């Protein structure tokens, strides 16, 4: 086990943050975070003019845990030991500065196929038509790396010209050597995707690895 992820060098662009940026991220995510609604259809998606960040990933990748870690709370986003439990797009208002959208996990769900297809259509329509959306965070379990189902989502985001960034989760559960190799292969694969952000974030919700850096990055997006 490791307490901090290794540095992958060289990175495509500078990914460092100064103390002021780290503090700005802390302050933004320390503010009030309120659950708005869970949208089961396009007609239920809230109409706002706030910048929006969406969290996407395979079921059980740790989306809810990461949202909770970023906001410093235990139950803003529901976590579950049952993959596929989130069945709608859950929206959270972060201090009237940013909207967080927690998307249904893809790739597995304990539900009828027609219901899964309905969720998939909802997410695709949301991602392709949301003008306020600044970036989609595509969460990848560091123990497993990018899978074909992730590649399908990335290709869809490329086609829709929606900016997305890969965030590795659970990096505390992988040793430094394999993580280094995973970062190298992930960067190489992302270079072939037109809408992919070049920086890959390493995080652990349990060990709080990479949390303050991700907060700082999202705070900058909220100001853009």
Q: What residue ranges define each of the domains in the chain, with the CATH number in brackets?
A: 19-223 (3.40.50.300)
How far the first Cα of the chain sits from its last, in Å, is: 37
Q: Report residue 81 CA to chain centroid gap.
A: 19
pTM of the full predicted structure? 0.86
Predicted local distance difference test score (pLDDT) of residue 7: 39
R_g of the chain, CA atoms, integer Å: 16
Predicted local distance difference test score (pLDDT) of residue 3: 42
Predicted local distance difference test score (pLDDT) of residue 83: 47
H or E stretch including 27? Answer: helix 19-30
Predicted local distance difference test score (pLDDT) of residue 108: 60
Tokens of 66: 């990461």
Predicted local distance difference test score (pLDDT) of residue 117: 75
Predicted local distance difference test score (pLDDT) of residue 6: 38
Predicted local distance difference test score (pLDDT) of residue 67: 92
Predicted local distance difference test score (pLDDT) of residue 77: 61
Low-confidence ranges of the chain (pLDDT < 70): 1-15, 75-86, 107-112, 115-116
Predicted local distance difference test score (pLDDT) of residue 86: 55
Indicate the SS3 state at residue 148: helix
Predicted local distance difference test score (pLDDT) of residue 10: 35
d(CA 59, CA 160): 23
Within 8 A by CB and 6+ apart from 188, the residues are: none
Predicted local distance difference test score (pLDDT) of residue 111: 62
Predicted local distance difference test score (pLDDT) of residue 106: 78
What pLDDT digit, counting tens, does each position of 135-160 carry?
A: 999 999 999 999 998 998 899 899 88
């Amino acid at each position: 086990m490791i307490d901090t992820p290794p540095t992958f060098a060289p990175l495509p662009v500078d990914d460092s943050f100064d103390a002021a940026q780290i503090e700005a991220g802390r302050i933004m995510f320390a503010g009030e975070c309120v659950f708005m609604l869970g949208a089961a259809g396009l007609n239920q998606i809230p109409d706002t003019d706030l910048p929006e960040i969406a969290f996407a990933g395979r079921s059980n990748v740790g989306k809810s845990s990461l949202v909770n870690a970023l906001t410093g709370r235990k139950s803003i986003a529901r976590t579950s030991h049952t993959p596929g439990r989130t069945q709608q797009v859950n929206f959270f208002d972060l201090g009237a500065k940013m909207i967080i959208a927690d998307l249904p996990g893809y790739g597995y769900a304990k539900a009828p196929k027609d219901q899964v297809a309905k969720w998939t259509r909802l997410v695709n329509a949301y991602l392709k038509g949301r003008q306020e959306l600044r970036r989609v965070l595509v969460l990848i379990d560091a123990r497993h790396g990018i899978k074909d189902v992730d590649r399908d989502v990335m290709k869809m985001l490329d086609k829709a010209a929606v900016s997305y960034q890969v965030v590795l989760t659970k990096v505390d559960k992988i040793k430094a050597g394999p993580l280094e190799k995973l970062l190298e292969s992930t960067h190489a694969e992302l270079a072939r995707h037109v809408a992919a952000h070049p920086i890959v974030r390493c995080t652990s919700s349990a060990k709080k690895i990479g949390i303050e850096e991700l907060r700082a990055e999202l705070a900058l997006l909220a100001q853009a």
